[in-house]
Amino acid sequence: MKERAARPFAQAIVQNAYYVNDLDAAIARWHALWGLGPFLVRRHIVLSHVSYRGRPAALDISAAYVQAGAIQVELVTQHDDQPSAFRDVFTAAQEGLHHVAVVPEDYDALIAAYAAQGFRIASELRTASGRGAAFVDTRALLGHMVEIYWPSPGLTALYREVAAAAENWDGRALMIEVDPAQ
């Protein structure tokens, strides 16, 4: 991933993320439709911190990441029915575009810029490895959320790993299972 500074409301989108109700079936569908692969899959991602609408929360999600040209695609599913930014948009049985992701130069400044426009944080999370993000509820304007990443070396490494996997893919293994604590 080539990091680009995301100035408030002049941001580069680095990822499109789709909520799916069955991760493995979605991977097969996306591969059949576009020939994308391989998908790096993290099941039951270990989250060290989750908040929902400003309160402590719990979240059990799995995700698959694949490179699609210059942009990364994430397929994500929630395994429980806890309130979340995902459940704000989709029931367990529904699917569709959930968010686009941006990497800001200044996380706090971008959060403040969205807040100044009336867009509030639906959820914040941190992984066990220290990656983090906020889901800003922009549905009233865009029809989906915006994920603002907390810039980190781990995030840059994830994007590089996904891009390299696609570049070097021999078409054999459609899924690569990744440690959910990473």
Q: Is the pLDDT of residue 32 over 90?
A: yes
Q: Are 146 and 102 in contact (CB under 8 A)?
A: yes
pLDDT of amino acid 151: 86
Residue 113 lies in a domain: yes
Q: Is the pLDDT of residue 6 over 50?
A: no
pLDDT of amino acid 57: 97
CA dihedral 175, 162, 171, 75 (to 10 degrees): 50
pLDDT tier for residue 113 given thresholds of 50, 70 and 90: very high
Q: What is the CA radius of gyration of the chain?
A: 15
133: closest CA among 87, 92, 93, 84?
84
CATH of the domain at 146: 3.10.180.10
pLDDT tier for residue 130 given thresholds of 50, 70 and 90: confident
Q: Is the pLDDT of residue 101 over 90?
A: yes
In order of 23, 34, 82, 135, 140, the CA distances from 89 in angstroms are: 17, 25, 13, 12, 12
Q: Which domain holds residue 41?
A: 13-176
Residue 111 lies in a domain: yes
pLDDT tens per residue across span 132-166? 999 999 999 999 999 999 988 989 999 999 999 99
* Average pLDDT rounded to a whole number, residues 78-83: 95
Residue 8 lies in a domain: no
pTM, entire model: 0.92
Report the run of H or E that residue 31 belongs to, with start and end: helix 23-34
Residue 4 lies in a domain: no
Residue 106 lies in a domain: yes
Tell me if residue 166 falls in helix, strand or coil: helix
Of the candidate ranges 103-107, 157-161, 174-178, the one whose mean pLDDT is the lowest: 103-107
Residue 159 lies in a domain: yes
Residue 98 lies in a domain: yes
Both tokens of 52, joined, read 């929902």
Beta bridge partners of 27: none
Beta strand pairing status for 71-78 and 13-19?
parallel
Q: Please count the structural domains in the chain.
A: 1
